[in-house]
A and B are shown apart, each in its own frame.
Chain A
Amino acid sequence: MTRPIVLGSASSGAESAPSDSGLVTARDLARDYLMGKERVHALRGVNLDIATNDFVAIVGPSGCGKSTLLNLIGAIDRPTTGSVAISGRNVAGLPDREATRFRLLNIGFVFQRFYLMPTLSALENVELPMAEAGIDRAERTSRARELLSYVGLGPRERHRPTELSGGEQQRVAIARALANRPLLLLADEPTGELDAHTGAEIIELFGKLNVDGTTIIVVTHDEELAQSARRRVHMRDGRIVDG
């Protein structure tokens, strides 16, 4: 059986259903912010378990804490209290350098606004995380090409982001997120800036990724994207109310 190019774990792509092994474990997660003089409780004691190969959509009204939860899982923010473990490792208390390294090798991020480097080509954008991980040029170029092909942008590898449509940019962003074979793909409103048709293409791509073995957590307002996920977690006022 061929090893899917996108898998980060050792499991094969034939297993498309979530396994029993917990990949993400969040316990009593809380995050407070100071907005001027007021203290805002963005998350209030969230508990969440996500299994390997799962495809979870976190939904809820604006300001309910979805993106905050995603940021904590992705180790780009630190909780005020609580813990987040990914593959058994507590990422909540990691020093910045270790958290950065962990993100590089284990987490793939997809943002609403794509956030590609405007001065690099599509190929170079996908190579960026691999270059940071120390992979040699030949290998990373080959893998970048493979990833761009996978997301359907093989012929556009030399184009700059300004020369790509929104949907194409998001595909490149997804390919970049998969560069270092992450354990987990996190997407914050990945279809937020796209029209319905393009958004549907991205949703389809996420489905394909999950079938091929990628564990995905998306935060979204997009009902169609939420429906395409295996599991939906509803949040309100910083708490999980369902899921």
Chain B
Amino acid sequence: MRFALARAALVRHRPRTILATLGVAVAAAMLLDMVMMSTGMRESFRELLLSRGFQIRLAPKGTLPFDTDATIDSVSSVIAALRENPDLTTISPVLGASINVRVGNRAITSASLGVNPRVQGDYELLTGRDPLASNEIAVNEDFQRATRARFGDTIEVSIGYDPQTRSVTQTRKFVVTGRVRFLYGAANQPATAMQLATLQQMSGLARSDDASLFMIRVRDGANVESARAWIERRIPTVGVISIETAMAQVDERLSYFRQLALILGSVSLFVGFLLVTTLMTVSVNERIGEIAVMRAIGVARWHVVQQIVLEGIAISLAGAIAGLGLGLVTAKYLNAILSSFPGLPMAIDFFLFQPRAVWTALGLLAVSGMAAGVYPAWRAASLPVATTLRQEAIA
């Protein structure tokens, strides 16, 4: 009967109920977006870092991978040192450089990664095959679009310029063997991958044994933090970054968004609560007479409160469910804006849909809906019955 009464009360004032539900839906959408944003970046970044199973990264000391042009020298001795630890199962050195490709009268600049294709963790092969020979190169879609290079084509790639002779240096011919998607690549950025040794040679003597980054996979069951500490002691000239350290750095750089998410989420929840409270207060004030009669005929105070609280919960839940759809749409829109951050890997999402986020938002709204109805309901149900009936009769 309480459900019937609650439903009837909501249906009785349809425009008001619809408007309140819409208001809660907007608040719910915002709340959901903020919950998604507060955890999305972190989780998205973590997923990206772990996508190939590499738990540790080595970068030049004091920098993050590819933050600067600095490199780690003596790749071979670093690898030899790392191999002393049996817990380190896979070691993938990567060198980054900028290359130029002549297309007609233009020179297209592209990023390039020198990798060991058998252990690399930087790209996903979409079609074709890895660049296994020293004259082979794999490219991404942006590169293909810019250079019109197709599979099997031979392209001329240079690294340096000689301004005196006005010519490019370190030019080599490569055969395009595959199309790849770079996991850490930014949007609209042409990029290629070739053998590490090739890129080292092209980069000149100073970089002939350099790497920008090492990615390391730790044996299943081994302690990642222990491995990290071991590397730090063994090779003190490099920065050792575990997933946790990387996450901490990301947290620091993106702290603004998490704080914004917390503030906007709290405001949304509060405004939704305020809306439902106002609605319930007005609704209850209109029905003081009915409530007094219910009490007069023997309906317990708590049951009266329950019925009114049910109305608040119904509006909140209906609004939350509607807000879910709206929230996903606005999240997509906001994500598209933030994903255009220059240099941000395409694979990073600021708004990551996680069921836990949905339950959190729904739960918070249900609780706030419940809380919103309790006070006005309790107040109305506690009014002296006889006095209230008399006042309502006069009114």
Q: Given A115-B293, A117-B290, does the pair A100, B299 have CB atoms closer than 8 Å?
A: yes
Pair A119/B11 contact, Cβ less than 8 Å = yes
Pair A103/B11 contact, Cβ less than 8 Å = no
Docked Cα-Cα span, A115 to B301, in Å, equals: 18
Can you name the residue of chain B whose Cβ is closest to the Cβ of A137? B1
Q: B297: which of A68, A77, A176 is its contact (CB, 8 Å)? A: A176
Number of chain A interface residues as a range: 35 or more
B8 at the interface (CB under 8 A from A): yes
User: B208 → chain A, closest Cβ, in Å?
Assistant: 85
User: B239 → chain A, closest Cβ, in Å?
Assistant: 69
Most buried by B among A107, A119, A127, A132: A119
A206 at the interface (CB under 8 A from B): no
Docked Cα-Cα span, A127 to B5, in Å, equals: 12
A129 at the interface (CB under 8 A from B): yes
Pair A97/B301 contact, Cβ less than 8 Å = yes
Q: Given A115-B289, A118-B12, does the pair A77, B384 have CB atoms closer than 8 Å?
A: yes
Residue numbers in A under 8 Å from B390 (CB-CB): 67
User: A195 → chain B, closest Cβ, in Å?
Assistant: 19
Residue numbers in A under 8 Å from B387 (CB-CB): 77
A112 at the interface (CB under 8 A from B): yes
Residue numbers in B under 8 Å from A112 (CB-CB): 393
B295 at the interface (CB under 8 A from A): yes
Pair B300/A103 contact, Cβ less than 8 Å = no
- A→B interface (CB under 8 Å): 67-68, 71, 74, 76-77, 96-97, 100-105, 107-109, 111-113, 115, 117-120, 124, 127-129, 131-133, 176-177, 180
The 9 A-B pairs of least Cβ separation, nearest first, read A104-B298, A119-B8, A131-B1, A77-B386, A115-B293, A103-B298, A71-B386, A76-B385, A132-B299
Beyond A104-B299, A109-B296, A180-B298: 18 further Cβ-contacts under 8 Å? A71-B385, A76-B389, A100-B299, A102-B298, A103-B297, A104-B297, A109-B297, A111-B389, A113-B393, A115-B296, A117-B8, A118-B12, A119-B8, A127-B1, A128-B1, A129-B298, A129-B299, A132-B298
